[in-house]
Every structure is written in C-alpha cells, then in structure tokens.
Amino acid sequence: MPPKKILIAEDEKPMANALGLKLTSAGFEITLVYDGEAAVEAAKKTPFDLIILDLVMPVKDGFYVLEELKRLKIATKVIVSSNLSQEEDIKRAKELGASDYFIKSDTTLAEIVEKVKGII
C-alpha cells in the first residue's frame, strides 16, 4: 500500500522541517509549503490524505486556505496547527472544515504524529 500523503503548510521552516522528518519516519509521504497560496495550489494538483495547516502565514493565511478548499470542494481532512488560541479562531477554523485544532506551543511533535495516525 502506498504511503499516505500529507501536505504541511507552515511558514516557520524549522517547525515544518522537524514535523516533516517526524512524519516521514512514521511512514508518511510529505509535501512542505510555506504560505497559504502555495498550499491551495498544492491541494489543487495532488490528492492529499491530510493537510496540516498553520493559520498565520505570508501571502494568504490559513483561513483563506480553508475557505478555498471548501469553495473548490476539496474534501481533504485538515488539522490546524497554530499558536492562535482564541476561542473565536478555533471555532472559525472548525466551521470552515478543520477536523482538529491544536496549539503549537502546547503540543509535542510526537503528539502531532499520534493525532495524524488517529485521523488517517
């Protein structure tokens, strides 16, 4: 069975690379992008099994990505990974289709890998 494909949209490159390495070693195929516009373009070209999405990114933010995925009827599951911890941000992300939401500063890479395995 081919590995599950995950798109990581995260503008903090050290975080993106660390998460990518951790998920690759867990057997997933990873694509990294560093802004919201690139995330939408990647999602249009490749059917991913999961998207891990930061909300605060250059060019276009994560809310834009969620809105575009919905508009384009791309039904890929999305886990939001953000340091935005306001209840309104979490609620808005989930209303736009996010399956899960975690606060980066409160979550270890190992916990993220476990969440990913639980979702796909």
For residues 108 and 3, give the distance between their C-alpha atoms in angstroms, rounded to a whole number: 23
Mean pLDDT of 45-72: 97
Q: Are 76 and 49 in contact (CB under 8 A)?
A: yes
Q: Left, alpha or beta for 27 (phi > 0: left; psi -120 to 50: alpha)?
A: left
pLDDT of 13 reads: 95
Q: How confident is the model at residue 1 (pLDDT cuts 50, 70, 90)?
A: confident
The CATH class for the domain spanning 5-119 reads alpha beta
Instruction: Give the start-to-end residue ranges of the domains of the chain.
Output: 5-119
Mean pLDDT of 78-106: 94
Can you give the pTM of this predicted structure?
Answer: 0.95
Tens of pLDDT, residue by residue over 6-54, are: 999 999 999 999 999 999 999 999 999 999 999 999 999 999 999 999 9
